[in-house]
Structure 1
Amino acid sequence: MSVWLFALVGAGGTIGSLVRYGAGRWVTGKGKASFYGTLIVNLAGSFAMGMLIGLGLESVHRAEYAFFGIGVLGGLTTYSTLNVQKATMWQEGKRRTLAFYIGATYLGGWILTAAGVGLGYLLST
């Protein structure tokens, strides 16, 4: 991979991370639990990645995919925060919230990725 692609991934990752942080602050500022911010960015990232795949961006436009797919969406979505929040919910005995969070994240993420792929494919044809 070229230095240029590394730079694009880094720049995109910076943007995605800042958006994720802002979303978390916005949600907690509205009096909601912090996991809602993580859920929002993970679901939005799933849909957006699906669209990039459906558009065929990875195979056709390597630089754009490096910036948006790997960088922005990689920085936006967060697996580590998801797992910390799940462990915390378990420790705090919030089983119903945990079940909702797991279902919404994994099932919702799969559905939104598939929807994004479909929409991306339709837009590319």
Structure 2
Amino acid sequence: MNFLLAGIGASIGAMLRYAITNYGKKHWEWIGNKFSNLPTPTLLINLTGALILGLIFGIGANTFIYALLGTGVMGGYTTFSTMNTELVELYKSKNYRGLVFYAVSSYLGGLVLVYCGYYLGNLLKY
């Protein structure tokens, strides 16, 4: 059953990621230009995914909910492979400032936000 829930959740997460990425590429151009053409849709997706995953874990969701939302939706929503491809592209284009900013924002920001989500989830339990 968990296998099915994770699969359903992953398809929902992937559709959300696709929609946000397409919307962001069309409407958030000014953000990317301000910060050296950063792939802001992927950054937003991964950071919000870290926060939501921490929240799901922090509230102590049961196995079924965690399989659907944590493993499934957040697994399909966040995208580590795209982020790393974009980091390589920033390197190839010699945008070292953008590369460092994007890498630090993604990795450190993700860790901070997963902790914040976990903390908030613990608060919501009580």
**TM-score, with length taken from structure 2:** 0.90
Structure 1 unaligned residues grouped into runs of 5+? none
Deviation at 1:95, TM superposition (A): 0.7
Deviations 1:20-59 (A, max 9, x none): 11111011111525721110110001000111111111xx
For 1:55 and 1:124, how far apart are their aligned partners in 2?
5
Letter in 2 for 1:5: N
The match for 1:21 is: 18
CA RMSD in angstroms comes to 1.1
Structure 1 distance, partners of 2:105, 2:120, is: 21
2 CA distance for matches of 1:12 and 1:21? 14
SS at 1:93's partner residue? coil
Identity %: 35
Read off the aligned partner of 1:17 and give its amino acid letter.
A
CA distance in 2, matches of 1:51, 1:78: 18
Tell me the distance in 2 between the aligned counterparts of 1:115 and 1:63: 23
Amino acid at match of 1:89: L
**Is 1:48 aligned with 2:45?**
no
Tell me, in whole angstroms, the C-alpha distance in 1 between the residues paired with 2:12 and 2:99: 29
Aligned length: 119
The equivalent residue for 1:94 is 95
- For 2:87 and 2:55, the matched residues in 1 are separated by 27
Q: 1:77 deviation in Å? A: 0.4
Q: Counterpart of 2:111?
A: 110
* Paired residue secondary structure (1:22): helix
Measured in 2, the distance between the counterparts of 1:102 and 1:28 equals 19
Give the Cα separation in 2 of the matches to 1:49 and 1:21: 19
CA distance in 2: counterparts of 1:66 and 1:6, whole angstroms: 8
SS at match of 1:49: helix
